[in-house]
Structure 1
């Protein structure tokens, strides 16, 4: 079988790597994905976009890429689209128009439950099967036969979960992966470690950052131990301070108590508040709200991200309750998604 794949994000390729373990060896991947997984049409580094201006500059290239993928699809049995709705939804439309009977599978759906609900109609119209990683996501879809909750990929990718809370003297710090996130949070984290003495402070830095970039963006980090492995470090740490994002769900599933803190550009935060109608930022808290329960962890946003608030949360959190709830969260998500998605592709 030939499978046309469009996985443009780094995170999508982490999920694709796990998925590939369950695919038959006679399935050939073609299209856009990490070169570690085969022979892609383009290397992922050529697809990276930084900001609106950069997106405009590369617009012609992306139209060309879309047409090339549509042409490639002619010789493929099925199509797998992963995340990146800004590119993959228009691609799905073009594929459906060109090949009305081609099976198009979408895995890691755009978060239409949070904003832009109009994408639901497009997904149902253009795609054959929708693989959901959010238990309540199907509620907003009309065609229940198309959408399936397959589990969550993090339950495949996290290799160890905590069995008990053990003091390890290690505290993890994850200030995000975007420049603005890092430069906003690092000064506060540097002051915070002065208030929590006699610990090992581990700074988790994305593997893609080189030494020059780290020196430029993070500043003096001589008081931190550097780690490039988030899951391993979170598993070893007794507490964590984390910027919003997938990392908060990773820590929640592993069982490491943490505080979420996020400072966005004022305009970005204002626009986000207009369009995203959610009570919480952290995925674990969103899940717990759906379960009818109190939030799993604290969230400090914008001006509330202060040294005092973070320190107070660290000192006063009921860590035993957090740990018990983390096990409940794993039960809620149920299982990993990779094997189920592989079965959908191969059936």
Structure 2
């Protein structure tokens, strides 16, 4: 696979199937553009943060935003068509490197076919599938499809290196994100918010099924809190993949909802929030970085939940809790994700400053000690490794 950087404009083919990977990919792109003095070119599949850098996606990735074991089945023929479209695009464009980010189940299907075609293109995957949580068998076969794995967490490489795969811990992207840099005053002013308003940010997820199960629960939770706190103000940062679904749903709410768009406004909302209620996912790390006390909720179809209980072998779903091996961020899952219980938990948090402060200090410690590898930014470490495949 001797690729020379003598190639003046290396072409990197990005495979980014979900919005969680989109932000990570855009940070990588910025770093790689800097590392190659602006010579690198990008093509493939990506989301909105990437498009802000001028990236043109082969198709809109929001149709891939389907979550849950059962929920995915009806979409299979459409999915196979998309997979073939990506493979044909790769054959046509002959990139120097393929970099897939997150969504391993989608990327793996593409990369399997790429390997079959014997295209001899180095393949690197960014974000290890969570084999320590479920489906551990995936660690054994990844070396067949990729040449290198870039891991976000320190404990991950060991699961893959023992199965012939080069794997490196590069650090978690939340470290370099702007989650803690939101502008409080601007946001308050722009949205006519007062200092004595009780501001809560709600984040019902970025996948259609997350929103389907969580938004109605969040609505009822807000109703309960609003009855108790008339000064409650609700902010909901929109995500492109589910934006229209969310906007339709909140029209009928009893409480007026302030919506925001884009990463910057989301962080401004965080800077102005006393508490938050979020779907389980990366956003919880951002809230911790922004020092917003929060709880996470998660709900899937009963059948998916039943299967998950049998397949998943971890005590916690929240990354901060997993790394600390204790519940720092309250997790309200499945039958515990009920409006009455969520409202109760949030109410305790509103009333009790020591609960809020404890969560902030404990989660900050995890962020600072477990999520970065030395002083180099994660995206720069990733760039360095990808670049080594061009030499």
Give the TM-score normalised by structure 1.
Answer: 0.86
Q: 1:140 to 1:321 in 2, by over 3 A?
A: same
Q: How many Å apart are 1:301 and its aligned residue?
A: 2.2
Structure 1 position 263 matched with structure 2 position 285: no
In the alignment, is the contact (CA less than 8 A) between 1:254 and 1:326 conserved in 2? no
Match of 1:44 among 57, 61, 64: 61
Q: 1:194 to 1:62 in 2, by over 3 A?
A: same
Whole-angstrom CA distance in 2 between matches of 1:283 and 1:151: 13
User: What runs of 5+ residues in structure 1 fail to find an aligned partner?
Assistant: none
Aligned length, in residue pairs: 339
Superposition RMSD in Å: 2.8
Match of 2:332 among 300, 306, 322: 300
User: What runs of 5+ residues in structure 2 fail to find an aligned partner?
Assistant: 1-9, 183-194
Q: How many Å apart are 1:63 and its aligned residue?
A: 4.3
- Residue aligned with 2:95, SS: coil
Whole-angstrom CA distance in 2 between matches of 1:27 and 1:199: 48
Paired position in structure 2 for 1:174: 203
- Residue aligned with 2:153, SS: coil
Q: 1:208 to 1:128 in 2, by over 3 A?
A: closer
Further displaced range: 116-125 or 169-178: 169-178
Q: Show CA shifts across 1:227-265 (max 9, x none).
A: 333322122212112222222121122211112223333
Q: How many Å apart are 1:295 and its aligned residue?
A: 2.1
After superposition, where does 1:91-102 map in structure 2 within 5 Å? 91-99=110-118, 101-102=120-121
Structure 1 position 329 matched with structure 2 position 390: no
Q: Show CA shifts across 1:22-49 (max 9, x none).
A: 1122111122224444344334356555
- Which structure has the higher relative contact order (CA within 8 Å, separation 6+)? 2
In the alignment, is the contact (CA less than 8 A) between 2:225 and 2:232 conserved in 1? no
Whole-angstrom CA distance in 1 between matches of 2:115 and 2:77: 27
Whole-angstrom CA distance in 2 between matches of 1:135 and 1:318: 28
Paired position in structure 2 for 1:219: 252
Paired position in structure 2 for 1:245: 281
In the alignment, is the contact (CA less than 8 A) between 2:196 and 2:231 conserved in 1? no
Q: How many Å apart are 1:212 and its aligned residue?
A: 7.3
Paired position in structure 2 for 1:56: 76
